[in-house]
Structure 1
Amino acid sequence: MAIDPTRFCLNRKIAPRLSLEAFFQLVQRLGLNKVELRNDMPGGRVTDDLSADQLRALTDRYHIEIVTINALYPFNRIDDALLSRAEALLQEAQQIGAKALVMCPLNDGVALSSAQTQAAMVQLAPRFAHYGIQGLVEPLGFPVSSLRSAVTAQQLIAAAQLPFKLVLDTFHHHLYEQAEEEFPAGIDINQIGLVHLSGVEDLRPTAELTDEQRVMLSDRDVLNSVVQVKRLEMLGYRGVYAFEPFSSQLDSWTPAEIERQVRHSIELLQA
């Protein structure tokens, strides 16, 4: 399975202690050019202490493409605060040249209906269009999530004729018990806008897995992320794969260890 290296992306979660410039340098050393930035890093801002112009100067210097800002949360519980966050993130995405904004559903055990989630998408869509930013809906597979199913998310988007696409995450796919039952007949591969990759080696019950167990890909990955990718490729997916590990152990990884882990994960996917 040969995947063009330009389709690989690094989510900033993989290097939580690096400055943005050091992160971009790391991406460049790996021969990659795509990143996902975040609004939940230790500094609290997407651009750390940089202005939008300063960040764009860095992306130009290191030939970096900002695939997304991650994330608008909880996109499906609309109130004035959420709309303000959406407006600010969309404006920032436009200013720094990010192509898309990831949208994550409420994930605290409060149930929201499919109709509520769809209504939220309908209300947000004109704002995304105004700024020229792609909306990417990411179902979360946790038992407490209000939107767990990738197929349901796509159905809600299609039924309302919205311009949003799906983020398919191999970790969250694994957590959702009915994912494999729904996926083969229900997924529209052409409406997947991004795929998040991580690996889990922890053998605790699936329902007990959290972001803390998410590392990089390996031969011991219980998520079978490599198998998931092979199926996506077979079905015709030709979009971006973003490595998105979450474990706190990444705090201690040196740039050299991050490079080693990324290269190994890519090797597994290219085998």
Structure 2
Amino acid sequence: MPSLRFALNHMAAPALPIEDFFALARSLGVDAVEIRNDLTDNAILDGTAPDTISRAALNHELTIISINALQRFNEWNAARAEEAQAMISYANACGAKALVLVPKNDGTGRADGERQENLRQSLAALKPMLEAAGIIGLVEPLGFEICSLRSKAEAVQAIEAVAGRSTFKLVHDTFHHHIAGEAQLFPDLTGLVHISGVADPAVSIADMRDPHRVLVAADDRLDNVGQVRALIKAGYAGLFSFEPFAAEVHQLKDPAKALRASMDYLSAHV
């Protein structure tokens, strides 16, 4: 197996200011990061200018692989179009390569026929906006039963329907993949892999949520090792980005030590 190429999502250490987060990545030998637009009192929400982030990334010799995320992207309307354009412009200005696209996850828009049409409509509208800026749209199915886009297979069908293979890629999130129960992989259309584990032995798959998502270790219930191994064997050669949401990870005094341990575990077992 080739060596794994890791990246860090700012959710791995959301309390760190952007400069410190970038420094954390470099201290781990990581050269690619994801920034977010949902961290209170932190970039981007605090008004940090895109050129500030661009300069910081340059100083730390980092590639910004994505901004995470345009929420409810498959509910297309004038407000969403305006939000999308603002995020695409920010991504372009800060040097981000892609924008993560997250679907509605509130139980609405799930009807068969309706959800596929909504998805195609949104991708068709986003396609020229993304292409004009040279930004990739990373579509992230969430796997939850209440989600309006659960499966990667359905996302691929919509991407094909809008002739969007050069504009859109999939996020394979190991957590979402597991809870979706979707066996099929799409390595040729996968643009990024998010990794996190679930260690809680008591929670059922149906009840797994973001707060359960920890760093991957030997007690992982999501078979991250198997998923990563299968993706690589199928031809995926991209990045594996840590995206833990659990408070216990966010409160770590030494996130570098914990991240290093998870990187070492995955490298040794994949």
Give the TM-score range, shorter chain. over 0.9
1:181-226 per-position Cα deviation (integer Å, ceiling 9, x unaligned): xx1xxx4311100000000011211010110000100111110111
Q: What is the TM-score when the length of structure 1 is the normalising length?
A: 0.92
Inter-partner Cα distance in structure 2 for 1:61 and 1:174: 37
Q: Identify the match of residue 269 of structure 1 among 252, 266, 270.
A: 266
Question: 1:122 aligned to 2:121?
Answer: no
Structure with the bigger percentage of helix: 1
Identity percentage of aligned residues: 39
Question: 1:168 aligned to 2:168?
Answer: no
Equivalent residue, structure 1, for 2:248: 249
Unaligned ranges ≥5, structure 1:
none
Inter-partner Cα distance in structure 1 for 2:146 and 2:196: 20
Segment drifting more, 192-201 vs 152-161: 152-161
Q: Identify the match of residue 157 of structure 2 among 155, 171, 181.
A: 155
Q: 1:47 to 1:60 in 2, by over 3 A?
A: farther
Equivalent residue, structure 2, for 1:235: 234
Q: How many residues align?
A: 261
Q: 1:2 to 1:264 in 2, by over 3 A?
A: farther
Inter-partner Cα distance in structure 2 for 1:22 and 1:202: 30
Unaligned ranges ≥5, structure 2:
none
Q: What is the TM-score when the length of structure 2 is the normalising length?
A: 0.93
Inter-partner Cα distance in structure 2 for 1:189 and 1:2: 15
Shift of 1:175: 0.8
Equivalent residue, structure 1, for 2:195: 197
Inter-partner Cα distance in structure 1 for 2:179 and 2:86: 31
Amino acid corresponding to residue 3 of structure 1 in structure 2: S
Q: 1:188 to 1:209 in 2, by over 3 A?
A: closer
Q: Identify the match of residue 140 of structure 1 among 139, 142, 155.
A: 142
Shift of 1:49: 4.5
Inter-partner Cα distance in structure 2 for 1:48 and 1:28: 23
Q: How does 1:1-271 map to 2 (within 5 A)?
A: 1-4=1-4, 7-43=5-41, 45-46=43-44, 48-112=46-110, 113-162=115-164, 163-177=167-181, 179-180=182-183, 183=184, 187-203=185-201, 204-254=203-253, 256=254, 258-271=255-268
**Cα RMSD, aligned residues only:** 1.4
Amino acid corresponding to residue 216 of structure 1 in structure 2: L
